[in-house]
Amino acid sequence: MMHHSLLIPILALAAGTSLAQTCGTVPNSYAYANGSPIKLPDPFTFLNGTKVVTKADWACRQDEISSIFQRYELGPLPAVESVSATFASNKLSITVTAAGGKTLSFSATVKLPSGSGPFPALIALGGVSIPVPSNVAVITYNNEEIAATDPRGKGKFFDLYGKSQTTGGLLAWAWGVSRIVDALEKLGPATTKINPARLAVTGCSRNGKGALMAGAFDKRIRLTLPQEAGSGGMGCWRIVGEMKKNGTKVEDAAQIVNGDQWFATSFTQYVNDLGKLPYDHHMLAGLVAPRPLLVIENSGIDYLGPISTYGCSTAGRLIYSALGEKEAMGLTQVAHGSSHCQLPSSQNADVAAFFDKYLLDKAGVNTDIFKTDKTYNFQLSRWVDWTAPTLG
Ligand SMILES: *[C@@H]1O[C@H](CO)[C@@H](O)[C@H](O)[C@H]1NC(C)=O
Ligand SMILES: *[C@@H]1O[C@H](CO)[C@@H](O)[C@H](O)[C@H]1NC(C)=O
């Protein structure tokens, strides 16, 4: 009995502060076997075979999916003991203390609109390459300083948790975003002029992958706007794999783990055997759901895997439909050739609609946006052999 009362706070700490694990962790002995040809795993069935039928079940399944992503692909999301912050001269200075008392400090640059606020804010990994409404603050964060793309183990995250920490760069970057949210909550709008309940996250390319992880792993992020994240973002590994087999020069799982340290060391053993993964990236959308998500993609760069981001988003949106929130997930995919991370003006209205409805609370905005400028021979039934229930 004594053990019980001791165990509970320790587990709560180990699960992290931003996504408390309440149910559905992966059993140690778990082994998944996909059929042939491999398909996208069913988001609506727990690993133990039980069906997801209610919204409460889905919340529980999200915990399981979070745990799956950490185990197979991203590495563990470590806990923090406390966060302190100051705000002065457009600079948010954050100090994080880990269990054991070790600390790290980093900062983010804040650009506030004129006026007294409180303003919604967009947290940008690296920099911003989408148009931002004038009444939205921008917080820019140097994620590479937290975890370098290369070599593994370089960056403040590893100074804090140790060089042997197996977490990949993407989840370390998401961890950094969560600490910015901690700081904004702690200081409050009276100090920062920022409303911590109206936050968005963005980034492009590798930083788009990181932005998607930030939205997926922190429920305090209201709006997630990954841009040209491609393969490793809203691309599903299995569809990317088939594109590669078909001769498209796309960055597949086997290639992505060579050189760039974005994924956990544990992922490498699966990159040539994707059918063993009990998830794919459609379920990353499922971690964000039902919070708003606009996938901004470029159909003109094969390397990003355009059919895969389209197909994976199509499957991911079925989860939003099941939750009765189809319009909260959009896809806008336009070819703009080699001008990677330069949003064509034809996509401006789509981005603006998501800001207007979900960050600025404007009424009557249509976000039923799901479009590509390409004609794909994409058969959903080739990849999806499950149906999306209406979750009660
Ligand atoms: C399966 O796992 C889920 C999530 O942990 C749990 O709620 C459910 O009760 C489990 N079902 C069975 C039959 O054990
Ligand atoms: C790969 O090629 C086959 C045969 O043309 C086609 O049916 C399939 O849709 C292609 N897959 C992808 C992901 O493009």
How far apart are the CA of 39 and the centre of ligand 2, in A? 14
Contact call for residues 155 and 147 (beta carbons, < 8 A): yes
**Among all ligands shown, which has an atom nearest to the Cα of 309?**
2
Euclidean distance between CA atoms 312 and 215, whole angstroms:
17
How far apart are the CA of 377 and the centre of ligand 2, in A? 7
Residue 356 has pLDDT above 70, yes or no: yes
Q: Which atom of ligand 2 is nearest to the CA of 245?
A: 1
pTM of the model: 0.94
Contact call for residues 309 and 332 (beta carbons, < 8 A): no
Report the pLDDT averaged over residues 210-239: 98
**Among all ligands shown, which has an atom nearest to the Cα of 238?**
2
Place of tokens 């911003």: 128
| Structural domains of the chain ordered from first start | 82-383 (3.40.50.1820)
Annotated catalytic residue, options 205, 231, 299, 313: 205
82 is catalytic: no
How far apart are the CA of 247 and the centre of ligand 2, in A? 10
Q: Which of 42, 44, 45, 46 to mutate to test the pocket of ligand 1 (most atoms within 8 A of CB)?
A: 46
Taking only the tens place, the pLDDT of each residue in 237-251 is 999 999 999 999 999
107 is catalytic: no
Taking only the tens place, the pLDDT of each residue in 12-68 is 333 333 444 567 788 888 999 998 999 999 999 999 999 999 999 999 999 999 999
Average pLDDT, the chain: 93
How far apart are the CA of 334 and the centre of ligand 2, in A? 21
* CB-based burial, 103-123: b 16+ in 10 Å, e otherwise: ebebbbebebbeeebbbbbbb
**Among all ligands shown, which has an atom nearest to the Cα of 51?**
1
Q: Which residues does ligand 2 sit against, CB inside 6 Å?
A: 239, 242-243, 246, 307, 377
Banded model confidence at residue 370, pLDDT cuts 50, 70, 90 = very high
Taking only the tens place, the pLDDT of each residue in 297-352 is 999 999 999 999 999 999 999 999 999 999 999 999 999 977 999 999 999 999 99
Banded model confidence at residue 6, pLDDT cuts 50, 70, 90 = very low
pLDDT for residue 26 = 87
How far apart are the CA of 298 and the centre of ligand 2, in A? 20
Contact call for residues 388 and 318 (beta carbons, < 8 A): yes
pLDDT for residue 22 = 61
Euclidean distance between CA atoms 329 and 310, whole angstroms:
13
Residue 264 has pLDDT above 80, yes or no: yes
Contact call for residues 86 and 183 (beta carbons, < 8 A): no
Residue 124 has pLDDT above 70, yes or no: yes
**Helices 306-322/237-245 angle, 10° precision:** 150
**Region of poorest pLDDT, from 4-18, 254-268, 299-313:** 4-18
Contacts of 389 (CB under 8 A, 6+ apart): 44, 51, 52, 53, 322
Euclidean distance between CA atoms 312 and 290, whole angstroms:
17
Residue 379 has pLDDT above 80, yes or no: yes
Taking only the tens place, the pLDDT of each residue in 148-189 is 999 999 999 999 999 999 999 999 999 999 999 999 999 999
Question: Phi and psi of 243, rounded to 5°?
Answer: -60, -45
Q: Which atom of ligand 2 is nearest to the CA of 248?
A: 14
Print the SS3 string covering 53-120: CCHHHHHHHHHHHHHHHHHHHHCCCCCCCEEEEEEECCEEEEEEECCCCCEEEEEEEEECCCCCCCEE
